């Protein structure tokens, strides 16, 4: 066979069976593409769940899509999947968070046995019985207050955020109580205010210093337009605040002159048994 004939045979063979052909293996690019697709689906499912964070616990598909910034068809598909898995449940033509999320939420560190919330509960009940005020326990998560627990009676102030709610900590009594005792030596550096600048930072630092000196914070208005007193729960080992114990009273509700001292004592007893 001549060299040209052999070359022609190879070219013909290459056209029939391309070089490098055979069973295609999944390479890094394929896995990356699959990971991106999977992460996108997870993000969409999480966007659907986050939609229930706002006002209203039962939502229609349109509202879920709007809040989650998803198309209506995508929201509907994600809701169907979450319903199937028990994370969301149907209520007629609308949707609500399902029992499986309740189970998972109570498995979080804040809700476990002998956690901060479980330890504080009997002391919160005692404070409720003594003051007839709404009592709540909060922690600082980044720049927000996370409400871990709340107890109230027939005369308690209404409108206090629900358990699990997050609100901006700035300017609140619980936020000030935690930040004033954020380090053993004193308050953390003043928080910068991008709009108002250093004047507000100095004002806030002064307010936190007063809270530390007094031992508790007072907020007239804000949470439910009532009066709120908050004392820090200070860890014995680090001598820093890990939470705030607060009482909220209606404006026309009797307030004992010793309420702040009672609140501090209750917070200290919680810290002792943690």
Q: Is the pLDDT of residue 75 over 60?
A: yes
Please tell me which residue, 200 or 225, carries the higher pLDDT value: 225
Q: Give me the chain's average pLDDT, please.
A: 80
Q: What is the mean pLDDT of residues 120-137?
A: 94
The domain of 83 spans 30-102
Number of structural domains in the chain: 2
Same domain, 121 and 249: yes
What CATH code is carried by the domain that includes residue 268?
3.30.450.40
Give percent of the chain above pLDDT 70.
77
Cα 192 to Cα 270: distance, rounded to the nearest angstrom: 32
Lowest mean pLDDT among 28-37, 80-89, 122-131, 234-243: 28-37
Same domain, 149 and 248: yes
Determine the pLDDT at residue 222: 58
Q: Is the pLDDT of residue 8 over 70?
A: no
Cα 137 to Cα 245: distance, rounded to the nearest angstrom: 5
Q: How does pLDDT run across 149-208, given as a tens digit for each residue?
A: 999 887 767 678 889 899 999 889 999 999 999 877 554 444 443 433 444 478 888 888
**Around 112, how many Cα atoms within 13 Å sit in the side-chain half-sphere?**
5
Measured CA to CA in angstroms, residue 80 lies from 63, 84, 104 at distances of 15, 6, 20
Same domain, 258 and 168: yes
What CATH code is carried by the domain that includes residue 54?
1.10.10.10
Taking the CA atoms of the chain, what radius of gyration do you get in angstroms?
A: 29
Cα 252 to Cα 179: distance, rounded to the nearest angstrom: 29
Determine the pLDDT at residue 252: 75
Q: Is the pLDDT of residue 108 over 90?
A: no
Same domain, 88 and 206: no
Determine the pLDDT at residue 46: 94
> Under DSSP, is residue 219 helix (H, G, I), strand (E, B) or coil?
strand
Same domain, 62 and 129: no
Q: Burial, 101: exposed, middle or buried (Cβ in 10 Å; 0-12, 13-18, 19+)?
A: middle
Cα 86 to Cα 199: distance, rounded to the nearest angstrom: 51
The pTM of the full predicted model, rounded to 2 decimals, is 0.73
Same domain, 37 and 68: yes
Determine the pLDDT at residue 105: 87
User: Is 229 among the domain residues?
Assistant: yes
User: Is 11 among the domain residues?
Assistant: no
Same domain, 153 and 260: yes
Same domain, 250 and 165: yes
Same domain, 133 and 50: no
């Amino acid at each position: 066979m001549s060299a040209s004939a052999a070359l022609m045979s190879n070219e013909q063979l290459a056209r029939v069976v391309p070089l490098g052909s055979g069973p295609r293996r999944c390479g890094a690019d394929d896995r990356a593409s699959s990971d991106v697709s999977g992460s996108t689906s997870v993000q969409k499912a999480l966007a659907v769940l986050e939609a229930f964070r706002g006002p209203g616990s039962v939502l229609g598909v349109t509202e879920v899509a709007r809040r989650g910034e998803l198309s209506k068809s995508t929201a509907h598909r994600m809701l169907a999947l979450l319903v199937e898995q028990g994370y969301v449940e149907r209520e007629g033509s609308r949707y609500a968070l399902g029992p499986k999320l309740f189970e998972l939420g109570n498995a979080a560190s804040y809700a476990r046995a002998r956690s901060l919330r479980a330890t504080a509960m009997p002391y919160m009940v005692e404070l409720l019985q003594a003051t007839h005020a709404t009592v709540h326990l909060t922690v600082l998560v980044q720049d927000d207050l996370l409400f871990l627990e709340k107890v109230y009676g027939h005369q308690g102030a209404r409108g206090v955020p629900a358990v699990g709610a997050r609100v901006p900590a700035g300017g609140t009594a619980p936020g000030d109580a935690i930040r004033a005792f954020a380090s053993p030596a004193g308050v953390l550096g003043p928080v910068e205010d991008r709009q108002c600048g250093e004047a507000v930072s100095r004002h806030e630092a002064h307010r936190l210093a007063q809270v530390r000196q007094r031992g508790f914070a007072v907020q007239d208005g804000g949470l439910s337009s009532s009066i709120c007193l908050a004392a820090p729960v200070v860890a014995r080992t680090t001598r820093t605040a890990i939470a705030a114990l607060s009482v909220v009273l209606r404006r026309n509700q009797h307030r004992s002159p010793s309420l702040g001292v009672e609140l501090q004592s209750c917070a200290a007893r919680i810290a002792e048994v943690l």
